Structure 1
């Protein structure tokens, strides 16, 4: 199910947008008043009111043009608050247009004007709209900051409408953070002050907010009650925009056929008003709904039709979401499209869209880590440039020596033979040094590339989770109840332990890249290896692990190298389980014809041989989902004289086969 992050609060602050029925007549009446009005302040207020009505009933772009003229007029007559009011309305319009940078620019200017003024209601409105901008940009910290400021100044101004709006903004923040009980407190406050404001459109919309809160609390009785109450009110008040919102969210409680009818009706209303966030959410939900209908349908013709409709809505909606950088909707849309292509057995596209979803999700949480890695890479580049400077300096010194040798040869013809011999010998030594430095530079480049690739692959996600929790604990400890804190602490501890294991693997691999570092082979019990592996992956309760060693096999090899190989292959197997029913991993060991064999098999989707190229090609640095892990496995297996092969069939699963030669000669090779 798609998140409601940019949907619920967006409707609330646009409740005024289409609520007036006589807008055109109002504009004409106000223009007549302007013809005889002489007071500057009154002219500015009338022009701002005209702009609001143009925005609501004619065109957003025409309203922008009218407001810019009013800003110019206000500045000419030095009416700062008139300018601030126009900026406030411009910020509102650019939110509706989903142009977040422009909206933030005008709201910031408006806040700077009203911050030191007695007009606390204007400041509260600006803070409220600013919180909406940050909500749409998934900047939850700033969303909460400005929503709290909006509520503080709304209560100071004793404006029931503003208190209603700010309570709604906080309710939506808590919904986005899955803190539904806190959201319910704010939703009830929203209803209370909406009733006190006696504004029908605000009352109807406040019922929507509390209905959505009850829906997310899984209280379907209260949710349906308030949706129906809101629906009747908006119908009677002819609030088409709000009706579309109700249908969009109420549909989540309805059976597929009824839900689809509601969403199609809502889509027609959103299209009339061209509100992009609403179109994106509703159209995306239509696509997901068609996927659900595909699952429930037995007729093959209907199933094909549902799948085609799902693909059509999801792909077109992704394009719209990308145009406004709607990250939250993009994460869910790409994940749903990945599932669709998995159903169609187009695993390449399924993997592509799943990766897009994961990358977008990472971008919300791991920017700090990316910056750290970029800094590390920059430092490495500086070191490489220093080596290049040394090479150039050495080359210049060589040329200088050659020049003096040539001059000496001309002047000292009697000893030209000796000089030529010296020159030749000196050049040979210099070239050897140059070749050695070039070789070291090339090797450093390769190791750097591998090292940072592995860092990015194996460490980024656990470090991101750890940092996210620490920031949350530091900045907003009051937002976490005891159960959430314990769950997050347990998750962080588990992530830190996995991170330590990954760091040990990477350290082992990096040692293997060092000159003169060799494995330390000894007799290793496969049963003990299996026991260690079982402990590492004991947290995956949804996956069946089966360990088989009927011959009680023992191997002569380096225990740490082999542990790392088995752990990485098991981790890769776990990563391929996305839609696999009854996921199973089998680890098996046996002896045959003087050789020992160890396999790690899964019943996942499988892959082509091309995707396992990293196991065999030293130049290959990518593979399947955990391709960089394959690169690490390849190097470790080579170090302990272990042959590794893969047998993968699409739709059936994958097996990695490790082969160990039990002969004395092979054991000596390891030593």
Structure 2
């Protein structure tokens, strides 16, 4: 790439970053100001305005700002003045003085902890090293600039100069022919410029810079495409885009020349030449003249137009003179190559030979220089590669730390999950243990039920069966022992015993079902008086044998409950009252209702209910005591529980007991 191309690329931030204020407006403000920090800032503003316009005048304003800032001990002004001086010295090519000025600025901004301005100074330091072809140092400075800009609180400064940094990083990769990285960083810069207001010029110039990459890769169509797009954008931004357009027109002219599109090349070169002449950049002027001369000469040769070729030769002589003045040997190689073809065209072969020899002499000179430069570039590329690897290692270290953090989080999460699972397992174990305990309790209860069942069977079935067996045995062995009257009486007793046995068996079946949890309630509305009368009638013979009267005071009384259970409960309590009654006494049955519950009371005049029997009936004890109560009070209590019945036991005055059955409304 030609020297002037790289110089322009490094200088792009300055060209697109001119002050928005005019020198006249700044001077008007300056004249009204007294010596102060604000006056220093105005002088620095004037210096910035002349950056890439008139560097010598810019240096003058920078020196004035530096002197005033030192007088006022305005540290920020001193640091900014050194920065301005460094920028102008770079434009003039005074790189040693530029480095000194930038180093002074960095030292002062570091003391102030000013990350915003440190980012700007390091960016220009990167540009300086780029101009000196010290590409690894340039990249170091640019990456340092990015680090400081990340800490800058001013969002606009951060974004603007970060875009500049990526742009210059791309320029360095372009210069070292690392084209892929160059294109990546140009795209990154374009994206950042597009996101900023009033920076379309910078965005367009980065797009055009991609064309230089394509041109070096001999992808001329791609180069022409991006140059054309960039010019289209820059045209919308005139007049402030006039100078950038001249550069892009020159690059586009060269691309057309390489494709032998001489008319288009001449059109673009002549358009750029007018602006370039005003800038005064001799290297750029010579390159533009060379492109014009080459297009005219080669078109003249192609069309056999001697006049056009002669006109091109005149332009070529101007380019050669400027290239010799500035010592651009690479430019002279192409100048004398064009001259060789021109002299061949006009049949002056001796001069063509001489021009060819001069081209080869300069080519050898450049070749030797390039060999040295190639070695330096190889070292630079190796250094850049090592720096990139260091950055990659640093990134991997950060990534590993990030991974370790996530691994730690994952491990903690896993431990938490394991803890939850262990807790859940422990909770389940406790729940299962409780179930097992309940099952064991139920098993114990079932065993108690079995014991109770055998006890009841042994007590309540033995008596009736024994009576029947004894009578039948006597009748079999000695039938004449009984008179007809005795036989009738004993037959009545056997019948009564058989009836009692049948009822007891039925009660046992009901009780067994209730103990096995297979008993289902059957609530219904029934006549309590009818049920109680039926019970009294069945037990009438028992009352008569014991000479105890049964008074039933229950009449026309409807209740809702399980009739079978109520019947069993009433019969057993009535049986218990009969057993407790003395001969000649009475048992009374009454019933009342309060709407919420029904009260059935059975009273006797016996010797009272033992305490153990009371405890069984009220659920305070579970021992079986059925010697005088059929199935016993245990059956009464358990069946009462099924229908939510309660029992009240009251001693009568002077003797006897009243047992009240409280049936809830269903």
TM-score when normalising by structure 2: 0.50
- Structure with the greater relative contact order (CA < 8 A, sep ≥ 6): 1 or 2? 1
